[in-house]
């Protein structure tokens, strides 16, 4: 027992969003959580959408998973997904704008659905599926992920304990230095740590921060910002961002599609630090595929709890 010495950072407690939920695994990363969910299903193969982060694919390949792939069309509908009875299917809640009703209707088609809610931290889990969540896309933590659903707690005791404090300094540096330069370099070190890690139990630092977070404020601010972005960008957006949007959605970003190859560079030059998602697909998929189109043109407009209408209007003025 340690008593005395210096004071640590102090956080509120008792707020963890998935605290007390039955069937929860607390892990280090979203990619590890997807692998863990697949492991819990006991299935022989996992179907992934082509439109997915390459770090997920790389992790699953490293773990020796049998992978199959499917395309999505302009309505985000699977078009060539034909799993065998012993196959699991990963269904993605893209941008966090897919309602529970939408995801439930997709999941009902398959025997072993895994819902990738890494972009939809607040999406409520439903029966007959495993749900994966990434904390750091919604909260300032160095890592952290959840799997929620039947049997999700299996295998966790065998995973090594994760530690994140050694590379978490970028969160403090951002406050004093901003996100460029020193803080960004420190964040890169944290990303390299995550990329090298196997599946691990959530670090005590991450869980402490998550336990002290005001989730009601995050939910309210993101929804308000998304609604404002819809009003400001609807006329120029080639994507219907509200096609599946519902009252239960808390988006990660506002997905804006503008057919302008120079737009991203203009935004970066003006310190809107977002990038095209998953540009590696431009080298792998046909130019007439929907995934290629999204990878080429989508701008994930920042709408998180740090910002408001002033910042969204500034982004609009640049566009």
Q: Please check whether residue 300 is in contact with residue 254, taking contact to mean a CB–CB distance below 8 angstroms.
A: yes
User: What's the chain's average pLDDT?
Assistant: 96
Q: Is residue 27 scored above 90 in pLDDT?
A: yes
Higher pLDDT, 29 or 276: 29
Q: Please check whether residue 144 is in contact with residue 134, taking contact to mean a CB–CB distance below 8 angstroms.
A: yes
Q: What is the pLDDT of residues 93-150, one digit of tens each?
A: 999 999 999 999 999 999 999 999 999 999 999 999 999 999 999 999 999 999 999 9
Task: Read off the pLDDT band of 5 (50, 70, 90).
Answer: confident
**How many angstroms separate the most distant Cα atoms in the chain?**
64
Q: Is residue 275 scored above 90 in pLDDT?
A: no
Predicted pLDDT at 35: 98
Q: Which domains does the chain have, with CATH numbers?
A: 24-158+201-211 (3.40.640.10), 163-196 (no CATH), 215-318 (3.90.1150.10)
What is the rounded distance in angstroms from the CA atom of residue 233 to the CA atom of residue 267? 15
Predicted pLDDT at 102: 98
What is the rounded distance in angstroms from the CA atom of residue 243 to the CA atom of residue 236? 16
Task: Read off the pLDDT band of 21 (50, 70, 90).
Answer: confident
Q: How many CB atoms lie within 10 A of CB 279?
A: 12
96: left (phi over 0), alpha (psi -120 to 50) or beta: left
Q: What is the pLDDT of residues 135-190, one digit of tens each?
A: 999 999 999 999 999 999 999 999 999 999 999 999 999 999 988 889 999 999 99
Q: Is residue 276 scored above 90 in pLDDT?
A: no
Q: Please check whether residue 100 is in contact with residue 123, taking contact to mean a CB–CB distance below 8 angstroms.
A: yes
Percentage helix, strand, coil for the chain under 3-state DSSP, each rounded to 5: 40, 15, 45
Question: Looking up tokens 């990963």, which residue turns up?
Answer: 90
Task: Read off the pLDDT band of 2 (50, 70, 90).
Answer: confident
Q: What is the CA radius of gyration of the chain?
A: 19
């Amino acid at each position: 027992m340690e008593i005395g010495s210096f004071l640590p950072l102090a956080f509120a407690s008792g707020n963890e969003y998935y605290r007390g939920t039955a069937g929860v695994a607390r892990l280090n990363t979203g990619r590890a959580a997807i692998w863990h969910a697949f492991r819990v299903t006991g299935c022989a193969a996992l179907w992934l959408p082509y439109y997915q982060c390459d770090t997920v694919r790389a992790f699953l390949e490293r773990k020796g998973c049998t992978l199959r792939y499917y395309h999505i069309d302009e309505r985000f509908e699977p078009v060539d997904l034909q799993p065998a009875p012993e196959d699991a299917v990963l269904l993605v809640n893209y941008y966090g704008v897919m309602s529970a009703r939408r995801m439930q209707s997709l999941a009902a088609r398959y025997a072993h659905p895994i819902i990738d809610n890494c972009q939809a931290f607040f999406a409520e889990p439903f029966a007959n599926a495993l749900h994966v969540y990434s904390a750091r896309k919604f909260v300032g933590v160095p890592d952290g992920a959840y799997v929620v659903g039947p049997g999700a707690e299996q295998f966790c005791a065998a995973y090594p304990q994760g530690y994140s404090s050694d590379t978490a300094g970028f969160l403090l540096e951002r406050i004093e230095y901003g996100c460029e330069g020193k803080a960004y370099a420190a964040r890169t070190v944290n990303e390299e740590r995550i990329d090298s890690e196997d599946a691990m139990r959530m670090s005590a630092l991450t869980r402490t921060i998550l336990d002290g977070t005001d989730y009601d404020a995050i939910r309210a601010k993101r929804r308000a910002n998304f609604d404002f972005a819809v009003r400001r960008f609807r006329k120029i957006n080639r994507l219907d961002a509200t096609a599946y949007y519902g009252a239960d959605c808390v988006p990660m970003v506002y997905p804006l599609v503008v057919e302008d190859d120079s737009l991203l560079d203009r935004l970066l030059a003006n310190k809107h630090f977002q990038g095209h998602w998953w540009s590696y697909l431009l080298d792998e998929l046909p130019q007439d595929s929907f995934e290629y189109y999204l990878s080429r043109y989508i701008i994930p407009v920042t709408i998180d709890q740090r910002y408001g209408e002033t910042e969204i209007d500034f982004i609009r003025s640049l566009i």
